[in-house]
């Protein structure tokens, strides 16, 4: 390469933001025009997708974001935020330690569900028979990934109260032409197929339902995780803040008078020197 | 304490969320009622403050959140997100490494500005003379903290294009009775006082302007940082995602053909054994 | 500045490492000479301080590092590492979330203890009377910082079994001329002064004892925290790894059948629209 | 489960550390006996493996740890540590943001190399012909994973100066009976096979060489990443500390006068309302 300044500029190139002194534009739109005209959800969409969504699309995104903000301190992310808040670090640090654990297991179900839905929609059988496409892709998933479908069933809730309400709103958006409604159909058919196979209902959960929304809105699967991170960051912050006001120092996972069970070797002397 | 189960429950007590199988309530409101009725911004408010805000208040919070999402890859947080995205970690991890650095210097100006505004509003002179209260608290700040007022002046932008537009919206909200407008007045008076002292304009920046909004809306100073973290997480995610699609492995801070300048001791042999 | 390549090189300048193709030197020493001749502890010293320590100094540093590796899963850092390991993130991520919380409260006592010791050593009274210098600086600390001296007393251990053994090794090093022994004397005099004031023993803990070593070896206070981070990272890794092998998914802070106590508002309907 | 206290103790059970007031034992050994008798490297081994290693084994582990501490600020982890140190966060936070990115790409080569070596050693052909086993497992790797073997070749160094020196020490340890030397043989045979296939030398790098050591010492592959994290944490700390002393606020990736290249849409007005 020949010109170091060009190399630097190119190394950090971006389509997201343009800046000159006194000027900030996102994807070509001046910030002072966006402020007051674009909502937080529209801004999230603009930065991630490159274009401003219509208001109806942004509202559906907003619903997905508001619905997954918190599931209480039994979740590792929330417990981490609360413990971190007592260790003498900033709110940003407490949030980071917590956000960091929204990995494949704790934060990945939405992403995996979008992937599954997209495979079903892309299955050659889909046009003729949603049922066949769903059954085949469930089989593929069970064969190649594992026994639990992401987005369905819940350890704690017999029916996740968020899922049916979210699907209602997708239906409404489909009626209005905001989205196609195909992914709501796919999600419901997965439920039906699971019930047929297991002889009991394994209902869609929050991850399955927000994945329907993200797929309806055209987000790639990987961003389902990113958007979940934005959403859950709210609960993470709220719990870190509540803990800050409750006080405490070096909050451990269980009350101080209780210890773990040690199940290693009994007390022993050091081995003799070689 | 006597009952271990009680001790556990108490150790993790929270006013934010209540759960039973099939039931999720935030601050007493059932999630299925909130979905479709409360926006993402209202939900953020509800979790942090304990009550649902009115729509006008939530819209002003929304504006503060949407206005600070990104300032480009020259910011350490954004550069970190982009580099992290090439290291073989998840989007959640890339976001966490970046969010983590929104500390006192990179993410604390809003919090410090709210603190300053609150001190001015609490200054005994405030009722008689905003000018006197502002001048006195600026003096206090310069004496006890340091030479730069948080929220005013910008290294890059002669005028930060976000600040005047945000203040306009605060003025509008004050006209409508949503907020008092006192903190907008305080912010402007700080600008005026700085101009008088320095004989040049040191205009309010994004941190000063969002701090006006957070103070108007009654958020404690510490949450100004927390809210900034939520806001900037959007840019962090967008850049991590853009970098993911650009590709690259182990992206360093400068193009690969350039190295740092080493200015330590010259090449030397090991010292002789003692 | 005028030359972009120079600017880049200068922006990232470092005295720690020099590289050319096929050549790596730390502080001037070629890596192939260091390997086999410098221990891990010597390398830590070399990178942090700029020169290779003698073997006796490195051994004392090694002792401080090996003594603080773990204090069990009641510590937030260790609990975080274990929970993170069940969330579908890498060992590096689990370690990072945990290390991140070694802040002022959870990881700062050693740093604060070194600061206190250095103030005592710098107190004008120190040459004539260690007792007077210690008493005065304890007063200063109680006045300006807070009621608990960093490095003394322990919530759990009546006597921290690590501290007396570490001081023994400092005494031995002082006898051999490796260190002066002044900071061991200071530490013991703090203990004596506290006992006099409180009429009970408040013995030195691990942080107070490793701080004696770091001060004896000439490390600045801030690095006491950094070195503690290196040390505790071992326990963090060991627990993350043990949890990985134990298995589990989304490990919460308490067993799954137990929930937190909700103490917020009772179930209530949404407020009417404005 | 019936007894909440038991449930809690069991939930956090560990074989690593046993504590009672005044007593700390790691894997059965009292800390006051370990201090002064077990080195930092022995302690790392004890916590990770469950037993104390002999001194010769610990020394070989020590060599692997000391050899990988730093590769300069062009590495994302080191750049992140330095930028973080200017953002108003603690050294622990700067270290965490950096450590966090030692993921599959930036920190995983050692783990992947150990996996490859173990597959070669477990290949049925291994007993008769190391050459055949190496060739077959290289083929398997190229087929199932990708075109680059972890641990061989280097973007920057024609020959990584660390690798031959590390192998020398493994040879010495094999002569002395500390290790078998099989994995050094495997590593060298991979080099030979690659040279035969490519008609040029693709020499073993630091990851390949430390992987030989970790495999010789019996560490599982996953811990090769964990141990690399411990090792690189030293450089991360050293650079964060150097940057702290250099000063700077919100250090970006390139000097302040240079910006990124914006290559998104040109300046444009907001779209008309729907």
What are the chain C neighbours of A8 within 8 Å (beta carbons)?
A: 4, 8
Confidence of residue C207 (pLDDT cuts 50, 70, 90): very high
Which one of B74, B87, B254 has the shortest CB-CB distance to D105?
Answer: B87
Q: B237, A30: Cβ pair inside 8 Å? A: no
> B165, A32 in Cβ contact below 8 A?
yes
Contact present, B70 and B239 (Cβ < 8 Å): yes
Quote the CA–CA distance of D157 and D152 in Å, as a whole number: 11
Q: Which residues of B touch D95 (CB under 8 A)?
A: none
Q: Closest Cα partner for C270 from A237, B42, B61?
A: B42
Q: What is the DSSP letter of D200?
A: S
Residue A23's φ and ψ, nearest 5 degrees, are: -130, 130
The secondary structure element, H or E, covering residue B243 is helix B221-246
**Torsion on CA atoms A145, A148, A152, A154, rounded to nearest 10:** -140
Answer yes or no: do A229 and B48 touch at CB < 8 A. Answer: no
Mutation target among C11, C86, C101, C156 for the A interface, most CBs of A within 10 A: C101
- Find the residue in D nearest to B260 (Cα): D73
Report CB contact under 8 Å: D7, C90. no
Q: Which residue has the tokens 């006008």?
A: B56
Query: How many Å lie between the alpha carbon of A100 and the closest alpha carbon of chain D?
Result: 9
DSSP E strands in chain B: the ranges are: 17-20, 23-26, 29-30
Strand ranges for A12-144 from DSSP E: 17-20, 23-26, 29-30
User: Could you give the CA distance from residue B12 to residue C260 in angstroms, rounded to a whole number?
Assistant: 5
Query: How far apart are the C-alpha atoms of A115 and A135, rounded to whole Å?
Result: 15
- Closest Cα of chain D to C267: distance in Å? 28
Tens digit of each residue's pLDDT (9 = 90 or more) over C7-31: 999 999 999 999 999 999 999 999 9
Residue B2 in this model has a pLDDT that exceeds 80: no
Structure tokens at A63: 């619903």
Is residue A15 within 8 Å of residue D264, measured between CB atoms? yes
**Backbone conformation region of residue A246, classed left if phi is above 0, alpha if psi is from -120 to 50, else beta:** alpha
Residue from D17, D41, D92 nearest C97 by CA: D92
For chain B, how big is the Rg over CA atoms in Å? Answer: 23
Residues B57-74: what's their mean pLDDT?
A: 98
pLDDT score, position C273: 75
The residue in chain D having the minimum alpha-carbon distance to the alpha carbon of residue B257 is D156
Q: Are C232 and C69 in contact (CB under 8 A)?
A: yes
pLDDT (tens digit per residue) in B117-137: 999 999 999 999 999 999 999
Instruction: Return the H-helix or E-strand segment holding D24.
Output: strand D23-26
pLDDT < 50 regions, chain A: 1
B193-241: pLDDT as tens digits: 999 999 999 999 999 999 999 999 999 999 999 999 999 999 999 999 9
Q: What is the pLDDT of residue A255?
A: 96
Q: Are C84 and C185 in contact (CB under 8 A)?
A: no
Q: Distance between CA atoms of B214 and B173, rounded to whole angstroms?
A: 13
Report helix, strand or coil for D85: coil
> Distance (Å) from the C-alpha of residue B54 to the closest C-alpha of chain D?
24
- Chain C interface disruption, residue of A2, A72, A87, most C CBs within 10 A: A87
pLDDT at site B139: 97
- Cβ separation of B83 and D86 shorter than 8 Å? no
Residues forming a β-bridge with A204? A152
A38 close to A31: Cβ distance less than 8 angstroms:
no
Contact status of D16 with chain A (Cβ, < 8 Å): yes
Angstrom distance (rounded) from CA D99 to CA A42: 34
CB contact (8 A) between residue D13 and residue A253: no
Task: Determine contact: A260 vs chain B, CB below 8 A.
Answer: no
Other CB atoms within 10 A of residue A121 CB: 18
Contacts of C164 (CB under 8 A, 6+ apart): D32
Closest C-alpha among A256, A230, A238 to residue A82: A238
Q: What is the pLDDT of residues D167-184, one digit of tens each?
A: 999 999 999 999 999 999
Asked whether the CA dihedral A108, A112, A115, A117 is positive or negative, the reply is: negative
What does the DSSP 8-state code read for residue B20? E
Please answer yes or no on whether C253 and A5 come within 8 Å at the CB atom: no
Distance from CA of B131 to the nearest CA of C (A): 33
| pLDDT exceeds cutoff 70 at B1 | no
Residue of A nearest to B248 (CA): A11
Alpha carbon distance B203, B151 (integer Å): 9
What are the CA-CA distances from residue B25 to residues A128, A206, A211, B31 (Å)? 42, 14, 22, 6
- What gap in Å lies between CA A44 and CA D269, rounded to an integer? 18
Closest in B39, B91, B225 to A66, CB measured: B39
Residue C228 confidence class, pLDDT cut points 50, 70, 90: very high
pLDDT in tens, C121-135: 999 999 999 999 999
pLDDT band at residue B54, thresholds of 50, 70 and 90? very high
At residue D273, the pLDDT reads 74
**DSSP assignment of A185-235, as one string?**
HHHHHHHHHHHHHHSS---B-HHHHHHHHHHHTT--HHHHHHHHHHHHHHH
Average pLDDT over residues B80-85: 98
For chain C, give the number of residues.
274
Dihedrals phi, psi of A61, to nearest 5 degrees: -60, -45
pLDDT at residue B274, as a whole number = 61
Distances, alpha carbon C145 to alpha carbons C75, C138, C139, C192, C196, in Å: 24, 10, 10, 21, 21
| Position B81 confidence tier, pLDDT thresholds 50, 70, 90 | very high
Q: How far apart are CA D213 and CA D49, in angstroms?
A: 15
Kindly report whether the global pTM for this prediction surpasses the value 0.90: yes
pLDDT at A274: 61
Q: C79 to chain B: which residues are within 8 Å by CB?
A: none
pLDDT for res D266: 97
Give the pLDDT confidence score for residue C274 in this predicted structure: 61
Question: Do the Cβ atoms of C109 and C153 come closer than 8 Å?
Answer: no
Give the number of beta-carbon pairs within 8 Å between B and D.
142
Whole-number Å distance between alpha carbons of A211 and A221: 8
Q: For residue A129, what are the β-bridge partners?
A: none
């Amino acid at each position: 390469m020949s010109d170091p300044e060009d190399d630097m500029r190119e190394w950090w190139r971006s389509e997201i933001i343009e800046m000159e002194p006194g000027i900030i534009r996102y994807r070509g739109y001046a910030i002072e025009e966006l402020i007051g005209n674009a909502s937080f959800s529209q801004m999230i969409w603009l930065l991630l997708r490159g274009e401003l969504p219509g208001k109806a699309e942004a509202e559906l995104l907003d619903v997905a974001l508001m619905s997954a903000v918190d599931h209480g301190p039994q979740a590792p992310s929330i417990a981490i935020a609360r413990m971190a808040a007592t260790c003498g670090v900033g709110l940003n640090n407490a949030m980071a330690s917590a956000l960091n654990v929204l990995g494949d297991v704790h934060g990945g179900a939405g992403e995996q569900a979008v992937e599954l839905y997209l495979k079903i929609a892309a299955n050659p059988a889909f046009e003729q028979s949603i049922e066949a496409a769903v059954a085949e892709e469930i089989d593929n998933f069970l064969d190649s990934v594992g026994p639990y479908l992401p987005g369905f069933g819940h350890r704690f809730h017999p029916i996740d109260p968020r899922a049916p309400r979210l699907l209602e709103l997708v239906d409404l958006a489909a009626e209005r032409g905001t989205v196609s409604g195909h992914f709501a159909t796919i999600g419901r058919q997965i439920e039906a197929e699971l019930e047929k196979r297991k002889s009991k209902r394994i209902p869609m959960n929050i991850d399955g339902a927000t994945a329907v929304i993200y797929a309806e809105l055209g987000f790639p699967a990987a961003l389902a995780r990113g958007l979940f991170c934005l959403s859950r960051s709210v609960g993470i912050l709220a719990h870190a803040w509540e803990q800050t006001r409750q006080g405490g120092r070096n909050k451990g996972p269980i009350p101080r008078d209780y210890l773990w069970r040690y199940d290693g070797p009994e007390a022993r002397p050091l081995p003799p020197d070689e």
